[in-house]
Amino acid sequence: PSEDWRDQPLPEPDLDARLDARAAAERERGLPLDRAPLQRLLLVRLPDAPDGTARHRLVWTHHHILLDGWSAARFLAEVMAQYRGTPLPASTARYRDYVAWMAARQDDPHAEAFWRAALAGLDDPTRLADAFAGAGAGEPRMVALELPADRARAFAQAEGVTLNTLVQGAVALLLARLTGRSRVCFGATVAGRPAELPGAETSVGLFISTLPVVVAPDPDQAAGPWLRAVQEHNLALREHGHLPLAQLQRLAGRAGEALFDTLLVFENYPVEAALRDGPQDGDGPRFGPVSGVERANYPLMVTAAAGAGLRLQLHGHGPLAAAGRLEQVGALLAGLLDGLCGSGDRPLGRIATPLPAPALSAPAPMAGTETVTGAFARQVRERPDAEALRWGDTRLSYADLDARATHLARH
């Protein structure tokens, strides 16, 4: 459908707010899975620009099951080629070929053995939301951060890692400091386009998958070698990424149970480039900035994209969406990312943060009859590996502190 707003002149901020509200209304309508084509287009004709140029806003709402980000860029590139009258090359790729390729690899003993080993060290799922239990919640929302990218690029190049690996390292440190666990797990979204499948790079459909990344940030290990190890581990994960997440949960001994509640998506699909690939003058359309809204069912989803700067978006649900919470988590993540870029020789434990992790923590209030010693004993039972005490470079878990206190009491 189309709507004509030319008779409703508004200041630009008010116009943008109304457009955002209209796009939100489209999202709220939903897309029933039993009704094709799982997408809608809304074209809004805006008041003309001061120089008389016609302006439009195109709102494209589609279900994620239809296509992923890279496919969206490919799809838009084909639309613009058709618009300009450029013939499209014949496509030999079919999405059904990818489905058949995946189905033939679900029973892969080698991949299953790899994942059993990769997940063996994860004693418990990493649940960031538990660190804020009882601290209130809010409506799902998003916080955006625009960080300088030059320093991060220079550091990544010097250490032989990608920006994606650098952001993964910062997320791992974030989870370790907020949950107090020495070994953490988060989900990483990967492209999922097998190189051995002809036409996979140019196909349109849903190819992405989410893989559990288990990382153990050693406070004494230097940042550079640790990041290279994280990157090598990620490459190995992708070689065996054709098993579904539900199967990986079963291999970890936690069938039907989430291994993580934090998702990282590093976006490298050129949507704006696809729209601007071609003449931007004459009578053809000229495109302004492209923005999108994504939804996920995780308490925290971090999306990262590198351009002139490094753009981070933190999407929070439940306790992570409480007032000010995402801003604090974002500041901590940005500080850890900046700290990682300081020196490849710096131990992870010496990476400073803009605010201490305990300032973010908001443990559940104790019951009125619970004593301090009882609360401590409960933490020892429920979170033995969580950090209980920090003094300089010394860190003690609840289990360690309990053992030392017991030893002292007996002597």
- Give 94-138 pLDDT, tens digit per residue: 889 999 999 998 889 999 999 999 999 898 899 999 888 776 788
Give the pLDDT mean for 155-175: 96
Return the pLDDT at 282.
61
Report the amino acid identity of residue 387: E
Which residue reads 């080698």 in tokens? Answer: 110
Query: Which pLDDT band holds residue 178 (cuts at 50, 70, 90)?
Result: very high
Return the pLDDT at 386.
67
Among candidates 185, 182, 152, which has minimal Cα distance to 167? 152
DSSP for 206-256, please give it: ---EEEEEEE---TTSBHHHHHHHHHHHHHHHHHTTTS-HHHHHHHTT-TT
Give the tokens for residue 384. 């033995």
Tell me if the bond preceding 37 is cis, omega within 30° of 0: yes
Return the pLDDT at 23.
93
- The phi, psi pair for 389, rounded to 5°, reads -150, 140
Give the tokens for residue 146. 């625009």
Report the amino acid identity of residue 293: V
Average pLDDT of every residue of the chain: 86
Other Cβ atoms less than 10 A from the Cβ of 410: the count is 6
Query: Which pLDDT band holds residue 25 (cuts at 50, 70, 90)?
Result: very high
Question: Residue 67 burial (CB < 10 Å; 0-12/13-18/19+)?
Answer: buried
Sign of the Cα torsion 388, 389, 393, 399 reads negative
CA-CA distances (angstroms) from residue 135 to 15, 270, 380, 403? 36, 39, 21, 30
SS3 17: helix
Angstrom distance (rounded) from CA 26 to CA 43: 12
Residue 73 confidence (pLDDT) above 90: no
Give the tokens for residue 310. 């490094």
Q: Which of 238-252, 259-273, 303-317, 328-342 is the least confident region?
A: 259-273
| Helix 163-179 / helix 150-159 crossing angle, nearest 10 deg | 100
Other Cβ atoms less than 10 A from the Cβ of 232: the count is 12
Which residue reads 């499209």 in tokens? Answer: 88
Question: Residue 181 burial (CB < 10 Å; 0-12/13-18/19+)?
Answer: buried
Query: Which pLDDT band holds residue 256 (cuts at 50, 70, 90)?
Result: confident
Q: Residues spanned by CATH 3.30.559.30 within the chain?
A: 109-364
Give the pLDDT mean for 178-186: 93
Strands 309-318 and 209-215: unpaired
- Name the β-bridge partners of 44: 3, 57
Query: Which pLDDT band holds residue 358 (cuts at 50, 70, 90)?
Result: very low
Give the pLDDT mean for 349-355: 75
Return the pLDDT at 112.
95
Query: Which pLDDT band holds residue 367 (cuts at 50, 70, 90)?
Result: very low
Residue 303 confidence (pLDDT) above 80: yes
Sign of the Cα torsion 174, 180, 183, 186 reads negative
Query: How big is the chain by its Cα radius of gyration, in Å?
Result: 24
74 HSE (CA, 13 A, CB side): 17
Strands 209-215 and 394-397: unpaired
Residue 259 confidence (pLDDT) above 80: yes
- Sorted by sequence, the CB contacts under 8 Å of residue 141 that are 6+ apart come out as 315, 316, 321, 326
Among candidates 193, 186, 194, which has minimal Cα distance to 210? 186
8 A C-beta contact, residue 390 and residue 353 = no
CA 361 to chain centre: 21
Sign of the Cα torsion 131, 135, 139, 142 reads negative
Angstrom distance (rounded) from CA 274 to CA 73: 6
| Sequence-ordered alpha helix ranges (H) in 282-391 | 325-340, 372-382
Share of the chain above pLDDT 90, in %: 48
Instruction: Classify domain 109-364 by CATH number.
Output: 3.30.559.30
Give the pLDDT mean for 314-331: 90
- Name the β-bridge partners of 357: none
CA 84 to chain centre: 35
Which residue reads 């386009």 in tokens? Answer: 193
Other Cβ atoms less than 10 A from the Cβ of 195: the count is 7
Q: Which of 35-39, 302-306, 323-327, 373-377 is the least confident region?
A: 373-377
0.85 exceeded by pTM: no
Q: Which of 134-138, 230-234, 249-253, 397-401 is the least confident region?
A: 134-138
Return the pLDDT at 363.
42
8 A C-beta contact, residue 189 and residue 68 = no
